[in-house]
Structure 1
Amino acid sequence: MALPDFLVIGVPKAGTTALYAALVRHPQLFLPGVKEPKFFLSDGPPPRQRGGPGDRQTYGEHIWRRDAYEALFAAAPPGVTRGEATPFYLYDLRAQERIRQLIPHARLVAMLRDPVDRAHSNWAHLWAAGLEPESDFVAACRAEPYRRAAGWAHFWHYVGQGRYGEQLTHLYSLFPREQVLVLRYRDLRDRPTDTLDQVCSFLGVTTGVIDRVPDENVIPYPAQTAVNDALRATLRLGGRIGYHFPVPLRRTFREPLLRLLHRRKDRRPKLTRAQRAAILPYFVDDIALLERVTGNSYSDWLSAGHNTLVPD
């Protein structure tokens, strides 16, 4: 069997793409070219409901067949440590259970980011992609219960994704703590060499081999204009019906619209104190739980005036 020895399990918009891009350069590690296979997110075929804009296409990208998943690792040279990165595994408690059932000895890496900053970055990503219908970040967070009830996929769960205390509590009920490495996004950005060495040591490979985190690709943030509003509406419509069409045809339709949407770039909106004060209460109790579960302090996340946003 060709199954992974480790997984980067979380969280979205917290440097998992950058970590993946760094780890693939280590000669003792093998990560497949497909980032985010999403194998453990479903037991059999992924959901078929439409959900939010673009969700059906995303479900179509899941590698859910066991043989197809194993094939991702078949090219790994003998003796290397195999892994993959799907940042939704921490959030999806059933995914945690599937991991425990299939690869109980896997090492798990979780990158945590200030949950308010993470939620804002998540919203900005989908807004820049033309898929988020709500132009107000706070309103989008408040809409989450209705979106979840309507079956919108994980990436739309701006608040739920950031409740790490609940997620790690469940994870530690399935895996011993020595199999889990919890890191901060801030450390990967500010101290990349030390953080990468920490990951390599945890994975049992040579340290000092990789010392740089590649720049992440960032979707340009489009200006808010009437024309762009119309383009966003068209992209959302395409996201809802596009699964009926082959991938090449979808790209032929979508890419010119995205180029038009991004022809006039704007600065990404900064998280304001008022927005942080409105969203922080969603996380206060969970941050306290996270501190109890990990034994680490995350008190810097609790200030309404705090803002750790960096280019992401």
Structure 2
Amino acid sequence: MPLPDVLIIGAPKAGSTALHAALAQHPLLFGSDPKEPKYFLCDDRPPERSGQRGPGDAHSAREWVWQRERYERLFAGAPAGALTFESTPFYLWDRRAHERIARTLPDVRLVAVVRDPLDRAFSNWTHLWVDGLEPVADFRAACELEPQRVARGWAPFWRYLELGRYGEQLAHLFTLVDPARVHVVRYRRLVDEPERTLAGVHAFLGVPPGPTTVPGSNVKRWAPDTAPRRLLRRGVRLGAAAGAYAPPRVWREVERPLLRLLQRGTAPRAVLTREDRAALLGRFTEDVHRLSDLLQEDYTDWLSPSGRGTYTVRRS
């Protein structure tokens, strides 16, 4: 049975879904379904419940592909001669995943998409907020709770700040994997220069030039913090907890009407304020400089007092 030739390893909320869909258009590239199996976050055993204690975590963990045979079957349908790939953005963050990848796939090529770490963190918080799982309505307050959440065993997706420390993540990865087999893509370039960026990825993977269309962002409607919606959010979180004991598709079906109610209306989306950005920016200063030194490319524009916002904002 086959194993993947390529992994898109990060970062969460930095465009890995769009890149996966874009690469899957190429006739010589075969992407897994599901896109994000999370196999290398496991060790051929189910995810530890001790690390899945946040809202919805245990339910989500039931969807992880942790069995080797099941993982290999994801690539069994690839056409002859095609490179196979999957896209689990948490691989960039997880040090043990680095070790498993290096041991299991010694010749694999890795693609990492990185995004302004505060824009990424805000997008991460927004994702969980509009899905009814994030209980804290204030982004900065939720970031300040990160150490407590980690200590209580909440899953990686709740690490809003830690997931954006790409310098330390790549430095560790490069101790195990030849940097020549790692291609780093800036989210900004994927959005602003999709043709050129995808051509660079194709060249890195050694396939002929192919389609260079990047799908648009699937932005969910905003869910304001109102009394009725607080009740809905509580229902979503309770249902997700119960969903940890049911097949994933069952809770997904039950959840759908709740999310429609939660996300109804046309309220404007929240934006990352300059005040919140200024308050949190210092958490990344050292790591951004480390990343710039490591990759010999300047990333210090991420330390500016204003970010570039969402995909939709950047394309407007």
Q: Is the 8 A contact 1:128 1:221 kept in 2?
A: yes
Match of 2:131 in 1: 129
- 1:85 counterpart letter in structure 2: S
- Which runs of no fewer than 5 residues in structure 2 stay unpaired? none
Distance 1:23 1:135 in 2: 36
Match of 1:311 in 2: 311
Question: How far off is 1:241 after superposition?
Answer: 2.3
Match of 2:167 in 1: 165
Distance 2:171 2:137 in 1: 34
Q: Is the 8 A contact 1:7 1:83 kept in 2?
A: yes
Question: How far off is 1:210 after superposition?
Answer: 1.1
Question: How far off is 1:224 after superposition?
Answer: 2.4
Match of 1:12 in 2: 12
- 2:64 counterpart letter in structure 1: H
> Aligned to 2:77, which of 67, 71, 75?
75
Distance 2:112 2:19 in 1: 11
What TM-score does the superposition give when structure 2 sets the normalisation length?
0.95
> Aligned to 2:200, which of 176, 181, 198?
198
- 2:303 counterpart letter in structure 1: L
Distance 1:223 1:264 in 2: 9
Q: Cα deviation per residue 1:146-167 (whole Å; 9 max; x = unaligned)?
A: 0001111011000110000000
Q: Cα deviation per residue 1:98-149 (whole Å; 9 max; x = unaligned)?
A: 0001001100000000001000000011000000001000011110000001
- 1:150 counterpart letter in structure 2: R
Question: How far off is 1:251 after superposition?
Answer: 2.8
SS in 2 for 1:183: strand
Match of 2:35 in 1: 35
Question: How far off is 1:78 after superposition?
Answer: 1.3
Match of 1:51 in 2: 53
1:2 correspondence with 2:2: yes
Q: Is the 8 A contact 1:4 1:73 kept in 2?
A: yes
Q: Is the 8 A contact 1:112 1:182 kept in 2?
A: yes
Match of 1:227 in 2: 228
Distance 1:250 1:299 in 2: 43
Match of 1:143 in 2: 145
Distance 2:211 2:286 in 1: 37
- 2:182 counterpart letter in structure 1: V
CA RMSD of aligned residues (A): 1.1
Q: Is the 8 A contact 1:164 1:290 kept in 2?
A: yes
SS in 2 for 1:83: strand
Q: Cα deviation per residue 1:231-276 (whole Å; 9 max; x = unaligned)?
A: 0111111122221223343133211111111122322211111000
Match of 1:117 in 2: 119
Distance 2:133 2:49 in 1: 19
Q: Cα deviation per residue 1:271-302 (whole Å; 9 max; x = unaligned)?
A: 11100011111111111111111111111111
> Aligned to 2:109, which of 107, 110, 113?
107
Q: Cα deviation per residue 1:185-243 (whole Å; 9 max; x = unaligned)?
A: 00000000000000000001011x21210113222211321111110111111122221
- Which runs of no fewer than 5 residues in structure 1 stay unpaired? none
Q: Is the 8 A contact 1:7 1:107 kept in 2?
A: yes
Count of matched residue positions in the alignment of Structure 1 and Structure 2: 310
1:282 correspondence with 2:290: no
Distance 1:128 1:221 in 2: 6
Q: Name which of structure 1's ranges 279-288 and 131-140 shifts more when overlaid on structure 2.
A: 279-288
Q: Is the 8 A contact 1:11 1:90 kept in 2?
A: yes
Q: Is the 8 A contact 1:223 1:264 kept in 2?
A: no
Identity of counterpart residues, as a percentage? 50
Q: Name which of structure 1's ranges 294-303 and 218-227 shifts more when overlaid on structure 2.
A: 218-227
What TM-score does the superposition give when structure 1 sets the normalisation length?
0.97
> Aligned to 2:184, which of 182, 185, 193?
182
Structure 1 stretches of 4+ with a deviation exceeding 4 A read: none
Match of 1:242 in 2: 243
Q: Name which of structure 1's ranges 28-37 and 185-194 shifts more when overlaid on structure 2.
A: 28-37
Q: Is the 8 A contact 1:5 1:83 kept in 2?
A: yes
Distance 1:33 1:267 in 2: 33
